[in-house]
Structure 1
């Protein structure tokens, strides 16, 4: 799963808030889907700019962009993927976010495990918020662990 860090946590929550507040949301549109909203929060690009870059590569889904990703290609979508990876995401996170399928996130949902529906605005936001909360716990645990060893380091 993604490398837990404050910036990624904040961007996931920002994307969830945009989706919940009524921003254009359409699972089949590369700029308005789960990954599209997160990409808008991570990069300075609008949904239209993301769509234009995606259209130039003639692929249809973020999972295809992740599968085709080549860091040295200079392809328009690869540059967006570079920004997403720089913030801590991994290739598998792209597919899992698009399909709301990470088992750790699903296990941590309020009310317990259940499958979420791709293309459902409320499910996408819930998934992102739950994922952010999981990473926040991970950061807290790391900090607590480091604090336990801090006196020995001085």
Structure 2
């Protein structure tokens, strides 16, 4: 699964928000499909610019992510590099395009079910669930040492003041 980052969580949420609010969605279009919409958020490129980059190689996003080579400096590397910098792997890109990550699907509201890769509403719920799952992972890894925030002598009193305020 993707490396949980605040940037990735925000990008997934923004993609879902844009789709929910009328962003163009066309699964067969490199710039307006699941990955294309995420890339619009991440790169600030238009769907036609993303499509142009994607057409410098052959295949769907699944194949494009697998063929990615950071040494070639082909234009496509820009968009794939952006996704990887967020914490995604080629496998994650495949799952986003086809809405198939089992961990995301198991955490869908209402429980596990298969989603349709070319259905806008399914893409929205997938992006939202993926963001929620990654956010939970971020929060579970968050460790706060109260002594680093409040000096040791004042810890109990400070905590009581926060709790009973």
**Could you say whether these structures have the same fold, taking a TM-score greater than 0.5 normalized by the shorter chain as the test?**
yes
Tell me the SS of whatever aligns to 2:70. Answer: coil
> Highest CA radius of gyration, 1 or 2?
2
Cα distance in structure 1, aligned partners of 2:39 and 2:116:
20
Equivalent position of 2:107 in the other structure: 108
Is there any run of 5+ residues in structure 2 with no aligned partner, and where? 153-165
Q: CA deviation at 1:18?
A: 1.1
Q: For residues 102-138 of structure 1, what are the alpha-carbon distances to aligned partners after superposition, in whole Å with 9 as ceiling and x for unaligned?
A: 0000000000000000110000010000000001111
Partner of 1:24: 24
Name the CA distance, whole Å, in 1 between partners of 2:74 and 2:147: 48
Aligned residue for 1:52?
52
* Residue matched to 1:129: 128
- Secondary structure class of the residue paired with 2:114: coil
Deviation of residue 151 (structure 1)?
4.9
- How far is the alpha carbon of 1:5 from its aligned partner? 1.1
Q: CA deviation at 1:150?
A: 6.5
Q: Tell me the residue number matched to 1:94.
A: 93
Deviates more, 1:46-55 or 1:112-121: 46-55
Question: Does structure 2 conserve the Cα–Cα contact (< 8 Å) formed by 1:13 and 1:132?
Answer: yes
Unaligned runs of 5+ in 1: none
| Matched pairs, number | 149
Distance in 2 between the 1:66 and 1:56 partners? 13
Structure 2 counterpart of 1:82: 81
Larger relative contact order (C-alpha < 8 A, sep ≥ 6)?
Answer: 1
Aligned-pair RMSD on alpha carbons?
1.5
In structure 2, distance between residues paired with 1:132 and 1:97: 12
Superposition TM-score, scaled by structure 1 size: 0.92
Matched-pair contact (CA < 8 Å) for 1:65–1:78:
no
